[in-house]
Amino acid sequence: MPHITYAQYLCPMPNFLRIFFWGLMISFLGSLPLGTLNVAAMQIGIQESLLHAIYFSLGSLLVEMIYVRISLMGVDWIRKQRKLMKAMEWVTLIIIIALAAGSFIAAATKGSDAKSVFLENNMHRFLLGMFMSAINPVQIPFWFGWSTVLFAKKILKPVNSQYNIYIIGIGLGTLIGNSVFIFGGKWLVQRISNSQQYINWVIGGIFAITAIIQAVKMILHKDAVHKFTHAEEDKHS
């Protein structure tokens, strides 16, 4: 009788469909906690348009898919780029603080219909999404960790065709997760308050809390980037 793995028993479906499903579900669930990208997408959807928010999400998920591919092919090289990843993490923190400050400034000094300072630029929202995703290194250790689990469970194998379907699932999962914030935020705001000033206070608060949590983790070396780049040292400590 042939040996049946845990993954095959749990998901008796064609291999490529199983890989696609795991990529989609991990990405979707990973997109639900409050973060810089999904909150920014929600803010764009509320204060500009749903189409602009979708553009932003497509730009951010494109970079995420590229990062996943890199993490699958060059983990050892990535781990050695400690200074680069740490610098990117600090830049991300600064941008989160700027997003919070921009929302608070718009709420406190401008009219009730004012947009956040963050949105007062002419950059295409697709490019803005790519930029904000590119400087967010947290997604690299996140996907390395989950990919390692899938390799161990024999769900994912080091084959290009499987990598491709896995990454497509990830992209779709991220888009669906962001859509929850985009459409859900728009629906909620329409029923609670149409005041941009009120919205800016709330979103500014979300960004501020996110920045504080991230700063504390970085200072205490509990952040995902530190754990990822120092994984080998921690094993021998």
128-150 pLDDT, tens digit per residue, is 999 989 887 677 778 877 888 88
Number of domains in the chain: 1
CA 197/CA 58 separation, integer angstroms: 27
Count CA within 13 A, CB hemisphere, residue 137: 23
For residue 142, being part of any structural domain is answered with yes
Task: Give the pLDDT confidence score for residue 226 in this predicted structure.
Answer: 55
Q: How high is the mean pLDDT of the chain?
A: 79
Of 223 and 183, more confident: 183
For residue 59, being part of any structural domain is answered with yes
For residue 8, being part of any structural domain is answered with no
For residue 24, being part of any structural domain is answered with no
Segment 114-125 mean pLDDT: 75
Task: Give the pLDDT confidence score for residue 115 in this predicted structure.
Answer: 63
Reported confidence tier of residue 90, pLDDT bands at 50, 70, 90: confident
Segment 111-124 mean pLDDT: 70
Reported confidence tier of residue 8, pLDDT bands at 50, 70, 90: very low
Please report, as a single letter, which amino acid is at residue 182: I
Q: Which domain holds residue 196?
A: 34-232
DSSP character for 1?
Answer: -
CB-CB neighbours of 32 under 10 Å:
12
For residue 73, being part of any structural domain is answered with yes
Of 166 and 95, more confident: 166
> By CB neighbour count within 10 A (0-12 exposed, 13-18 middle, 19+ buried), where does 216 fall?
exposed
CA 194/CA 141 separation, integer angstroms: 38
Task: Give the pLDDT confidence score for residue 103 in this predicted structure.
Answer: 81
Which of 51-55, 73-77, 219-223 is least confident? Answer: 73-77
For residue 21, being part of any structural domain is answered with no
105 pLDDT above the threshold of 80: yes
Task: Give the pLDDT confidence score for residue 4 in this predicted structure.
Answer: 46
Segment 3-27 mean pLDDT: 71
Reported confidence tier of residue 236, pLDDT bands at 50, 70, 90: very low
For residue 174, being part of any structural domain is answered with yes
Contact 30, 103 (CB under 8 A): no
**Does the predicted TM-score (pTM) go above 0.85?**
no
Task: Give the pLDDT confidence score for residue 62 in this predicted structure.
Answer: 94
Segment 195-222 mean pLDDT: 79
Reported confidence tier of residue 224, pLDDT bands at 50, 70, 90: low
For residue 40, being part of any structural domain is answered with yes
Segment 191-201 mean pLDDT: 72
208 pLDDT above the threshold of 60: yes
